[in-house]
């Protein structure tokens, strides 16, 4: 113990530190009151028009790099008692000075433009950000382009990105606004070049270009080729190309525009050359690619699932959809006439012949006409408006029979059988033919492949894959058939092969990042997706996409649920985003 003026204090008493949270606020509040009421202890006067605003250099410098540079440098204002502020409204300056002391400011539709312009000029960045947040609440398709022009002039880069996202999302409404007709050409090109442009069909983009050019044909027609380069003409329907665009004088009279139109025609006329024609104009916009559905399968814990989830490229989210009425794995799925069907499979106790149809508008599955034969490990494919169920296993033997479903009469009928019994094959449509690849015949794994011609009702062999396997995924992109993953009786595989009809041969491409047996493959947005499967010890929720240009697989957003031996298909987005 030590004595200090008669008070005994423990020598080992710890050091104590205190912070009064309200101290800074109270001091600034008092400084502001002194400034406003008595104009005492202030060291600078801002002269704004006919109004003098008394304040403190240190406070302004702490809030604004503009004032810090003014008062701390060698400028005349650093020594002047009175500083003249040009081209600023007195009320706006008063509001900003008040904000410097209190952190409070009122923003409304009457003062937001002046506040943002002034805060940008004198670098009150916090106020600028608050103005941008207010403007974000006011964004509307009728005013967003005007707001964009204003904030761009004042260097609000972060908010500019938000406005651009709004323009892309609300493009269909923005086109109807008066502001759209005044859009600068370079900005229109930027908007139209984006994969995130929210339209239902590419025809809408073309029509928006004609509307913009027609507003001032004499000045804008020369920009048409550059703008039309960003319209994905090959993805416009063939009928529209021939009936509308081919007869448009603005296009017909411009050679560069004619070249773009010819490119689109060739995309339809020479489908087997689409891989060579691949460019930005053949890549669908995210809003137009529809919904990717993953249906049923076997989940972690050996649970046979009735769960369904769907993914949209535009929102980049997986979300739950209505579950199947029956849990099923080893099923097939397909889309015809805008409806998604889940066909056959196994519920863990028996092989199924039941079929369910999904109604996207009602988010509901209903039973439809059953198969004639129960089938697990069934291959399902589509040709035109017909659904085909190929091979599979009925609980006693592997099958080579094939059934065809006609939704017009709600009936399954038999067509020509496969040449070989197959369960767990890959199936894909290519060149108006149905290809079936690999599988298991009950005793061995297959590398043989055959294709079906609906005109002759005949199956014909095509060259075999390099390696026998079942449980593969198969899909077609740009006229090339890809087959991935599977099981060869010894190992789960990451192997990927492609079949190009012109060469009539298989070629190995880059392997997937994961081995995947029971994998699902699908063409989604002109990209090859490999979804789920089992790698040996684990069921997978991961998803990979293939880039043929760089011969590389890349993982993307995974599903919510691990699933193998599921069904995957793309349902057109007829209701829009």
Mean pLDDT of 229-234: 97
Residue 404 has pLDDT above 90, yes or no: yes
Do 447 and 560 lie in one domain? The reply is: yes
Mean pLDDT of 178-198: 96
The CATH number linked to 232 is 1.25.40.420
Report yes or no on 5 lying in a domain: no
Quote the CA–CA distance of 156 and 112 in Å, as a whole number: 14
Mean pLDDT of 292-309: 95
Domain boundary at 276, 305, 333, which?
Answer: 276
Do 227 and 315 lie in one domain? The reply is: no
Q: With beta carbons less than 8 A apart as the criterion, state whether 389 and 405 touch.
A: yes
Do 97 and 244 lie in one domain? The reply is: no
What per-residue string of b and e applies to 211-237 under the rule 16 or more CB within 10 Å gives b? ebbeeeeeebbebbbebbbbbbbbbbe
State the residue range of the domain holding 106.
22-138
SS (H, E, C) 68-98: HHHHHCCCHHHCCCEEEECCCCHHHHHHHHH
Residue 214 has pLDDT above 50, yes or no: yes
Q: With beta carbons less than 8 A apart as the criterion, state whether 510 and 524 touch.
A: no
Domain boundary at 98, 119, 138, which?
Answer: 138
Mean pLDDT of 313-327: 96
Do 107 and 53 lie in one domain? The reply is: yes
Q: How confident is the model at residue 75 (pLDDT cuts 50, 70, 90)?
A: confident
Report yes or no on 283 lying in a domain: no
Do 311 and 270 lie in one domain? The reply is: no
Do 239 and 297 lie in one domain? The reply is: no
Q: What Rg value do the Cα atoms of the chain yield, rounded?
A: 34
Residue, of 74 and 265, whose pLDDT is higher? 265
Quote the CA–CA distance of 471 and 332 in Å, as a whole number: 12
Do 134 and 225 lie in one domain? The reply is: no
Q: With beta carbons less than 8 A apart as the criterion, state whether 101 and 28 touch.
A: yes
Lowest model confidence (mean pLDDT) among 39-43, 112-116, 246-250, 306-310: 39-43
Quote the CA–CA distance of 318 and 305 in Å, as a whole number: 17
Report yes or no on 560 lying in a domain: yes
Residue 138 has pLDDT above 80, yes or no: yes
H-helix or E-strand containing 481?
strand 480-484
Do 46 and 132 lie in one domain? The reply is: yes
Do 252 and 300 lie in one domain? The reply is: no
Report yes or no on 153 lying in a domain: no
Lowest model confidence (mean pLDDT) among 29-33, 174-178, 208-212: 29-33
Residue 426 has pLDDT above 70, yes or no: yes
Quote the CA–CA distance of 238 and 216 in Å, as a whole number: 29
Lowest model confidence (mean pLDDT) among 72-76, 109-113, 395-399, 568-572: 72-76
Residue 544 has pLDDT above 60, yes or no: yes
Q: With beta carbons less than 8 A apart as the criterion, state whether 425 and 382 touch.
A: no
Q: Which residue has the tokens 């039973």?
A: 367
Report yes or no on 162 lying in a domain: no
* Residues above pLDDT 90, as percent of the chain: 85
Residue partners of 8: CB distance under 8 A and separation at least 6: 1, 2
Whole-model pTM: value is 0.86
pLDDT of residue 301: 83
Quote the CA–CA distance of 202 and 52 in Å, as a whole number: 59
pLDDT digit string, tens, across residues 84-123: 999 999 999 999 999 999 999 999 999 999 999 999 999 9
SS3 content of the chain, % helix, strand, coil (to 5): 30, 30, 40
pLDDT digit string, tens, across residues 321-332: 999 999 999 999
Do 319 and 216 lie in one domain? The reply is: no
The CATH number linked to 113 is 3.30.710.10
Q: With beta carbons less than 8 A apart as the criterion, state whether 31 and 101 touch.
A: yes
The CATH number linked to 543 is 2.120.10.80
Do 388 and 491 lie in one domain? The reply is: yes
Do 231 and 309 lie in one domain? The reply is: no
Report yes or no on 448 lying in a domain: yes
pLDDT of residue 373: 97
Domain boundary at 250, 276, 302, which?
Answer: 276
pLDDT of residue 3: 53
Q: How confident is the model at residue 577 (pLDDT cuts 50, 70, 90)?
A: very low
Quote the CA–CA distance of 239 and 247 in Å, as a whole number: 12
Quote the CA–CA distance of 470 and 461 in Å, as a whole number: 17
Helical pair 90-102 and 23-37, crossing angle rounded to 10 deg: 150
Report yes or no on 303 lying in a domain: yes
Residue 435 has pLDDT above 80, yes or no: yes
Q: With beta carbons less than 8 A apart as the criterion, state whether 310 and 573 touch.
A: no
Residues across the chain: 577
pLDDT of residue 73: 84
Lowest model confidence (mean pLDDT) among 269-278, 288-297, 516-525: 269-278
* Residue 405 in tokens: 């479903």
Quote the CA–CA distance of 460 and 476 in Å, as a whole number: 19
pLDDT digit string, tens, across residues 357-402: 999 999 999 999 999 999 999 999 999 999 999 999 999 999 999 9
How many separate domains does the chain show? 3
Report yes or no on 474 lying in a domain: yes
pLDDT of residue 23: 86
Give the residue from 467, 472, 460, 385 showing the smallest Cα distance to 428: 472
């Amino acid at each position: 113990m030590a004595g200090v003026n008669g008070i005994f204090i423990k020598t080992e008493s710890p050091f104590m530190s205190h912070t009064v949270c309200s101290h800074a606020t109270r001091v600034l509040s008092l400084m502001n009151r002194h400034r406003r009421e008595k104009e005492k202890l202030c060291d600078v006067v801002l002269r704004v028009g006919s109004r003098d605003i008394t304040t403190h250099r240190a406070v302004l410098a702490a809030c604004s790099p503009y004032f810090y540079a003014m008062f701390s440098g060698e400028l005349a204002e650093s020594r002047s008692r009175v500083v003249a502020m040009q081209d600023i409204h007195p009320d706006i300056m008063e509001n900003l000075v008040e904000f410097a002391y209190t952190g409070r400011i009122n923003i409304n539709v009457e003062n937001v433009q002046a506040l943002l312009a002034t805060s940008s000029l004198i670098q009150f960045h916090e106020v600028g950000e608050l103005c941008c947040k207010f403007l974000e609440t006011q964004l509307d398709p009728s005013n967003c382009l005007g707001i964009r022009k204003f904030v761009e002039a004042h260097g609000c880069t972060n908010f500019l990105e938000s406005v651009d996202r709004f323009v892309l999302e609300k493009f269909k409404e923005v086109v109807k606004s008066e502001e759209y007709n005044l859009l600068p050409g370079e900005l229109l090109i930027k908007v139209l070049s984006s994969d995130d442009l929210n339209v239902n069909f590419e025809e809408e983009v073309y029509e928006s270009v004609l509307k913009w050019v027609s507003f001032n044909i004499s000045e804008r027609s020369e920009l048409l080729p550059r703008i039309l380069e960003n319209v994905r003409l090959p993805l416009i329907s063939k009928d529209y190309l021939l009936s509308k665009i081919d007869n448009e004088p603005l296009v017909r009279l411009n050679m560069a525009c004619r070249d773009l139109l010819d490119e689109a025609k060739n995309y339809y006329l020479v489908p087997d050359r689409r891989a060579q024609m691949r460019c930005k104009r053949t890549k669908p916009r995210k809003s137009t690619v529809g919904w990717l559905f993953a249906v049923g399968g076997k989940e972690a814990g050996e649970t046979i699932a009735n769960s369904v989830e769907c993914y949209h490229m535009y929102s980049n989210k997986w979300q739950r959809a209505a579950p199947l009425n029956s849990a099923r794995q080893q099923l097939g799925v397909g889309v015809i006439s805008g409806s998604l069907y889940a066909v056959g499979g196994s519920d863990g106790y028996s092989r199924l012949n039941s079929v369910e149809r999904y109604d996207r508008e009602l988010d509901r599955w209903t039973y439809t006409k059953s198969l004639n034969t129960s089938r697990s490990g069934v291959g399902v494919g589509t040709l035109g408006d017909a659904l085909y169920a190929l091979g599979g296993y009925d609980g006693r033997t592997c099958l080579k029979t094939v059934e065809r479903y006609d939704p017009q009469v709600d009936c399954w009928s038999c067509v020509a059988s496969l040449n070989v019994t197959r369960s767990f094959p890959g199936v894909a449509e290519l060149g108006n033919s149905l290809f079936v690849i690999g599988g298991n015949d009950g005793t061995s794994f297959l590398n043989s492949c055959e294709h079906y011609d609906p005109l002759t009702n005949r199956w014909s062999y095509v060259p075999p894959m390099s390696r026998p396997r079942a449980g593969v995924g198969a899909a077609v992109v740009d006229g090339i058939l890809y087959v991935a993953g599977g099981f060869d009786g010894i190992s789960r595989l990451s192997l990927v092969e492609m079949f190009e009809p012109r060469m009539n041969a298989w070629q190995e491409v880059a392997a997937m990042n994961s081995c995947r047996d029971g994998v699902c493959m699908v063409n989604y947005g002109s990209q090859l997706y490999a979804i789920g499967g089992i790698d040996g010890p684990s069921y997978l929720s991961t998803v990979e996409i293939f880039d043929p240009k760089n011969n590389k697989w890349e993982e993307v957003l995974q599903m919510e649920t691990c699933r193998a031996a599921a069904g995957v298909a793309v349902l057109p987005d007829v209701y829009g985003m």
